[in-house]
Amino acid sequence: MKAKDESKELQDLINMSGLSFDQAKTIIDKNPEELNPEPIFEIDYKKEKKKYKKKARRDVINLVKSIVPNDVIESPIIQNKIEQDTGQLANLYWQQKMIEAVLEANMDSIGKGNLAPRMFEVFTQISKNHSDIAKQITDFQVMMRKNYNEMKWDIRAKIDDDQNLPALNAKKEEVKIIDEQKNENMFLGSKSLISDIVNIKKKEALKNKKETENE
């Protein structure tokens, strides 16, 4: 049926109903409740994000405790890094959940008879996205382990430096005093030696003078 014929048929139906064109258009544009699609899934975004942030923080802390000693874990730099990593890991968990929800919706649609080729293409793409986000989570956890292990040794070295600093300063002062004493002794020794040499020269000169007079 051509568009012109469809338009005429629709106009005939409107005329038979006794409704004006505007009234008929309002009825046609308004979908009845039975035609409204039922929600496949419902998500409380705020609640879900809070849940995954809590899970992420628990996972990060467990990882940190397996690497960082108790005397270092309360360091401000470690605590700040935990907050940063918690936010990033929570976002990854959240993305993973959204991908899984869409994947399930796609599968439900196929299961209900929607066998369009496009549905299978979408399934393949979503499955790949799910694998990618899983790999991102694993890679991020590996990177966190490496970072916290390096930070542990850096903080330990800093603590050791702070503890040894007073002893190191005292040692430097002791060396300085010894060096000053050595310099002073060297100076006194040199002066005494010169004085002795001068006295010897004087005695020799006096002796030579007496011998000359006796002749």
Q: Where are the domains of the chain?
A: 1-36, 44-158
What CA–CA distance (Å, rounded) separates 45 from 26?
A: 35
Mean pLDDT of 21-35: 50
Model pLDDT, residue 85: 96
Instruction: Output the pTM of the full model.
Output: 0.58
Q: What is the pLDDT of residue 46?
A: 86
pLDDT of 51 > 80? The answer is yes
Half-sphere exposure of 29 (CA within 13 A, CB side): 6
Neighbours of 200 (CB within 10 A): 10
Higher-confidence position of 128 and 27: 128
Mean per-residue pLDDT for 173-178? 57
pLDDT the model gives residue 34:
46
Distance CA 113, CA 119 (A): 11
